[in-house]
Structure 1
């Protein structure tokens, strides 16, 4: 089985993952722990961590076959994730627990994404991704339908691939804040579809073909730009500034070619989110502690024609910050104009 066949059979489907800051510090002016917790609470399923992990695995996937100069590709992907939890709200005064309350939460997140890639050079591919998000919070009876954070990516392969050796791809991504910001809504009546800030990430992915197996790994560092002049009411105070810190993302796995038409992939995704600091109009601050989130997923690639491979996947969360489970689907969109140029 040729290496090119293996590359076409080892697409990795991307899965959504969310990380919600949940730990707050009480500020010096005596504001309650409940106020700080409410100030820090993002909506379930915010797009920031989703995009972080998708960037990592898009880089790993594209590493196998960067487009040749002048070629184009258009792909569609669908991802569904479910997150259910029991939120415990309490206040401790002089060693005594008061205001104990258990609130269930259940969020359904549907994301339809369209990705366009263009081969600028044989070893340089430029691309963009447009997500359309739909969310439901069945406990609070909330929903939202809107665009997510649009992103732009460049992938560069510094050295031509030599059979039997490791292949390396360097990538960089700029994410906008086109989605509905979680810091500009009424958190008790609305849901968000974006991160609420700009970000830039960079990293590298590696892969090696060991017929009939492809091993791959990827890592990236993401800088999240802070926001000022916010005017959101949270916990009885006015949120003015946001410092989201940085994010580390990593992945690793393998893809196995069962036949010319079928491939099976397994991978692990890990994300470390730095602490988030919110500053209010009275000068007080609330801090969400850093958090680790991870998910394991399995993907099946099926060739339905010479140029079309459909990927389906399922994933399971390994940490509290991850969704309970995810389901994914992706496939190329064949357009006559794109086909002629490719």
Structure 2
């Protein structure tokens, strides 16, 4: 083994034997190597992607993983509440609405195969609202989700990774079309939702680029009997929605990563059917959010991710805050 001239000079000065010179060099080199359990930047980026958006990572066959997610969102707005009967304006007032929503979610993933992961999502929703109709709190289970993520191609270093994902949301939360707006708050969508999409991520250490597109189809809410002003709502047919997102994550060090992403969703208008035969349709809804994230490695196997979101459109939450961390059994 070739000895660095500086090390040879120091060894000669100290009159060390040759084998001691070599062992000292090897010890110094080993001390600088990545030790067992250390996390490099590429691994940390993968952990960040996994926690921020579960669709970017799969787990090994037969393995079980759980994640806890906390999210908070705030919506504040002024809206005009109007109702027209027989061509006459029977109701007109400006309402100030303020809504705070806290969601605690536990997600469980199971590796069906190395390239196929099944998941179950259980959300618990707490909502507080202040408006002229009702001011109070509501606690309930949200819409339970079951889904799958599939990687059709093997992951190769230096190449983009493709993941196909699908999720079915069940209307297990309180439906906004069945609660009395003067007495309670909804904690679910009220309709079943099926979404499918494709996600791509590419790690160019120390940067990870990622993006996704998805389509969401919602079933109809039937047999309703909800009073809306002077009319009774009997059926709701939500429109199809298209969403996409792009962003990147950057490893500042072996323990800290940052991420920036933009998400947007465009949904067609919803059809509302009333008992008097009237059919109304809402306008197209566009929701855009800018997310700023921070990932902190607290142990060799645990990274906590914190995300702050800023609404970019009228139909988006004004502010969101999220925290994601893996759970160990």
Match of 1:118 in 2: 110
Alignment of 1:69-80 (within 5 A): 69-80=61-72
> For the Cα contact (< 8 Å) 2:247–2:259, is it kept in 1?
yes
1:1-342 pair list within 5 angstroms:
1=40, 3-11=42-50, 13=52, 57-59=53-55, 63=56, 65-89=57-81, 101-139=93-131, 140-335=134-329
Cα distance per residue 1:187-218 (max 9 Å; x no partner): 23221000101111111000111110000001
Asked if the contact 2:102/2:125 (under 8 Å) is kept, the reply is: yes
- Cα distance in 2 for partners of 1:328, 1:112 equals 10
RMSD: 2.1
Q: Does the 8 A contact of 2:41 with 2:254 survive in 1?
A: no
How far is the alpha carbon of 1:81 from its aligned partner?
Answer: 0.7
- Residues 22-62 of structure 1 show CA distances to partners (whole Å, capped at 9, x for unaligned) of xxxxxxxxxxxxxxxxxxxxxxxxxxxxxxxxxxx432xxx
Q: 1:313 to 1:103 in 2, by over 3 A?
A: same
SS at match of 1:195: coil
Unpaired segments ≥5 residues, structure 2: 1-39
Q: Is the 8 A contact 2:51 2:324 kept in 1?
A: no
CA distance in 2, matches of 1:97, 1:241: 24
Given that 1:12 and 1:299 are in contact with CA atoms closer than 8 Å, whether structure 2 keeps it comes out as no
Q: Are 2:296 and 2:305, in contact at CA under 8 Å, matched by a contact in 1? A: yes
In the TM superposition, residue 90 of structure 1 has moved relative to its aligned partner by 5.2
**Residue equivalent to 1:31:** none
TM-score (norm 1): 0.80
Structure of higher CA gyration radius:
2
Change (3 A) 1:194 1:97: closer
Secondary structure at the counterpart of residue 7 of structure 1: helix
- 1:8 is paired with a residue whose SS is helix
- Extract unaligned runs of 5+ from structure 1: 14-56, 336-342
Cα shift at 1:241: 1.3
- 2:48 and 2:250 map into 1 onto residues whose CA distance is 8
Assess if the C-alpha contact under 8 Å between 1:12 and 1:265 holds in 2.
no
CA contact (8 A) 2:203 2:209 kept: yes
- Distance in 1, Cα, partners of 2:254 & 2:241: 38
Deviations 1:224-278 (A, max 9, x none): 0112211222222222111112111111100001111111011101011111001
* Structure 2: distance between partners of 1:321 and 1:246: 16
